[in-house]
Amino acid sequence: MMSVTQKEQKNVRALLTVKGRKQQGRFVAEGVRLLEEAIRQNYLPEKLYYSDHLLTERGRELINKCAQAGFRLIEASARQMAQMSEVKSSQGLLAVFKRSDQTLGESFDGSCRRILLCDNISDPGNLGTLLRSARAFGFETVILSGRPTDCSAPKVVRASAGAIFGLKIIPAQYDSIRKFAQLKRATLIASDLNADESLDLNATMTDPLILAVGSEADGVGPEIVAMSDQRIRIKHEAGVESLNAAAAGSILMYMIYSNDRG
């Protein structure tokens, strides 16, 4: 077992910032549940820091398994862990992962059926919840367009409940999305606050399908509306301005998923 160096601590702290994650091409996940989920998805950590005194029983079991599996374990004192950690009370477990930065072109192998497109989703909690629902409802790929929040930010990773480890997540420009949709003959359905129609489930029974959801303030942007085959709105009571973006996206994904399952 090794002990954490000052340089490592500094590197991990830097991963709490957008800049640091970009420079290092890495991100952090903390806690037992997230690490279990990552391993279950076979998204293995590059480094695993643990602080013996802070571990729960479940955390200790996990660390023992990781040691047996030959993972690179690095010990940290409770104080060192607190300095590296972003959460208030650390569970004594912090893992560093490589980011898998893919592009739309190279990452598509034809198996792709259901794609969630998040346009300008800037709230980390909402993006994380959308990723979690995407994984639950069989949307195996997520495209991020506009000015999204960084999907490897700690808050997004946490809110995704580890879904981030099981999804293809691809930031993309509008131009490449348009080309991709054309090339794959994908149907693009955009959730749009100003649309009149509800989701037509018959139109979703086609591969591949791209479901676009937008920011709360502005909905899906004009670039996405322009390339959409259908614009739809979730019906709700009059006098209500809009739904939470993550709630709206989850409802639409669930409807498409249920319909797929028949």
The residue written with tokens 């739809």 in the block is 232
**Span interacting with its own copies, options 53-61, 74-82, 172-180, 238-246, rule CB under 8 A:** 238-246
Match 């301005």 to its residue by tokens.
Answer: 241
**Residue 133 binds to its own copies (criterion: CB under 8 A):** yes
Which stretch, 62-70, 146-154, 221-229, 246-254, contacts its own copies (CB under 8 A)? Answer: 246-254
Phi, psi at residue 228, to the nearest 5°? -85, 150
Q: Find the shortest distance in angstroms from Cβ 236 to its own copies.
A: 4
- Spatial CB neighbours of 254, under 8 Å, sequence gap ≥ 6: 133, 137
The answer to whether 96 touches 28, Cβ cutoff 8 Å, is yes
> Going along the chain, which residue ranges are E strands?
2-3, 26-30, 47-50, 73-75, 93-98, 114-119, 141-145, 168-171, 187-191, 209-213, 230-232
| Mask for 20-49, x = binds its own copies (CB under 8 A) | -----------------x--x---------
Q: Are 189 and 203 in contact (CB under 8 A)?
A: yes
Asked whether position 241 contacts its own copies by CB under 8 A, the answer is yes
Q: What is the DSSP letter of 195?
A: -
Tokens for 185, please give them. Answer: 């003959």
Task: State the binding string over 198-237 for its own copies (x if CB under 8 A, else -).
Answer: ------------------------------------xxxx
By the rule CB under 8 A, 259 interacts with its own copies? no
Q: For the beta carbon of residue 88, count every other beta carbon within 10 angstroms.
A: 6
Query: 33 or 179: whose CB is closer to its own copies?
Result: 33
Query: Rounded to an integer, what distance in angstroms lies between the CA atom of residue 212 and that of residue 144?
Result: 10
Closest distance of CB 136 from its own copies, Å: 4
151 binds its own copies (CB under 8 A): no
Q: How far is the CB of 138 from its own copies (least distance, A)?
A: 5
DSSP per residue, 63-102: HHHHHHTT--EEE--HHHHHHH--SSS--SEEEEEE----
Residues 101-130 that bind its own copies (CB under 8 A): 125, 129
185 vs 235, which CB is nearer to its own copies? 235
Which window, 99-107, 183-191, 206-214, 251-259, contacts its own copies (CB under 8 A)? 251-259
* 14 near its own copies, rule: CB under 8 A: no
Residue 58 engages its own copies in binding (rule: CB under 8 A): no
Tokens representing residue 121 in the block: 């989703």
Q: Please give the residue ranges that form the binding site for its own copies (CB under 8 A).
A: 37, 40, 125, 129, 132-133, 135-138, 159, 161, 163, 166, 234-237, 239-244, 246-247, 250-251, 254, 257-258, 261
